[in-house]
């Protein structure tokens, strides 16, 4: 007959055996079979579903549009005999490259001007693209007031610059005037063929526009 000490030892063995079986049963769904010929003994039964993201693919396609704005300023001179002469001379030009989302309306602010680009046509197969530049003059301390002064439409072909950016090759030129017909702003938009990053920035020789008033 076993004494009390032997009964205790037998009970501890049974408890340890039962606990080991329970641990194996609980972990069987978390580990997979051994990997043959490897120092790693277990692998996850279900691999993690993690996909690497590519930020470039998430970026909207954009188009670069060269832009030069040359405002006019009014000069008033008084001649002998009370004759007053008004003339308009070109101020310093503002150069900017618009980087617009190719199929959406965009807004840019250059000096005292608000430029809105509105896509008109995009034929991907032949890389034909047309966009309208709507130009507003801004007033007030913070440019909170605006007045539309005109539109310029530019059409050309798209040349790929990088993965998500094209350059619009084609030039549009226009002189915008105020309600009285006086020159207000010279606009040159686009890039010349063969020089995709050098916009054509010339409307010809600078000139004065004179309007005599008595």
For the chain, strand residue ranges (E) read: 62-78, 84-90, 94-101, 106-110, 113-123, 128-139, 145-162, 165-177, 183-191, 209-213
Spell out the alpha helix ranges (H) of 36-188. Answer: 55-58
> What pLDDT is recorded for position 21?
56
Q: Compute the average pLDDT of residues 14-29.
A: 56
Total tally of structural domains belonging to the chain: 2
Residue-range definition of the domain harbouring residue 29: 1-46
> What pLDDT is recorded for position 114?
96
Please indicate, yes or no, if residue 144 is contained in any of the structural domains. Answer: yes
Please indicate, yes or no, if residue 81 is contained in any of the structural domains. Answer: yes
65 and 38 share a domain? Answer: no
Please indicate, yes or no, if residue 8 is contained in any of the structural domains. Answer: yes
38 and 101 share a domain? Answer: no
Full-model pTM: 0.63
Per residue in 24-62, pLDDT (tens digit) is 544 444 444 444 544 444 344 444 343 444 444 567 899
Q: Compute the average pLDDT of residues 188-198.
A: 76
CA-CA distance, 194 to 157, in Å (whole number)? 12
72 and 163 share a domain? Answer: yes
| CA R_g for the chain | 37
Please indicate, yes or no, if residue 174 is contained in any of the structural domains. Answer: yes
76 and 118 share a domain? Answer: yes
Per residue in 63-103, pLDDT (tens digit) is 999 999 999 999 988 887 778 888 899 999 999 999 999 99
194 and 143 share a domain? Answer: yes
Please indicate, yes or no, if residue 79 is contained in any of the structural domains. Answer: yes
78 and 175 share a domain? Answer: yes
């Amino acid at each position: 007959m076993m004494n009390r000490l032997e009964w205790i030892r037998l009970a501890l063995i049974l408890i340890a055996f039962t606990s080991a079986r329970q641990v194996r049963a609980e972990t069987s769904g978390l580990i997979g079979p051994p990997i043959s010929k490897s120092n790693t003994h277990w692998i996850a039964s279900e691999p993690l579903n993690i996909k690497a993201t590519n930020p470039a693919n998430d970026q909207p396609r954009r188009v670069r549009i060269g832009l030069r704005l040359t405002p006019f300023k009014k000069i008033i001179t008084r001649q002998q005999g009370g004759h007053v002469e008004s003339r308009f001379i070109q101020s310093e030009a503002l150069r900017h490259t618009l980087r617009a989302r190719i199929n959406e309306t965009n807004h840019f602010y250059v000096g005292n001007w608000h430029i809105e680009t509105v896509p008109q046509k995009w034929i991907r197969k032949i890389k034909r693209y047309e966009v309208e530049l709507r130009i507003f003059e801004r007033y007030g301390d913070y440019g909170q007031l605006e007045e539309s002064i005109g539109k310029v439409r530019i059409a050309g072909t798209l040349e790929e610059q990088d993965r998500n950016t094209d350059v619009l090759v084609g030039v549009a030129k226009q002189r915008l005037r105020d309600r009285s017909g006086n020159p207000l702003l010279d606009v040159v938009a686009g890039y010349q063929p063969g020089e995709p990053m050098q916009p054509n920035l010339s409307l010809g020789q600078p000139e004065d526009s004179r309007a005599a008033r008595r």
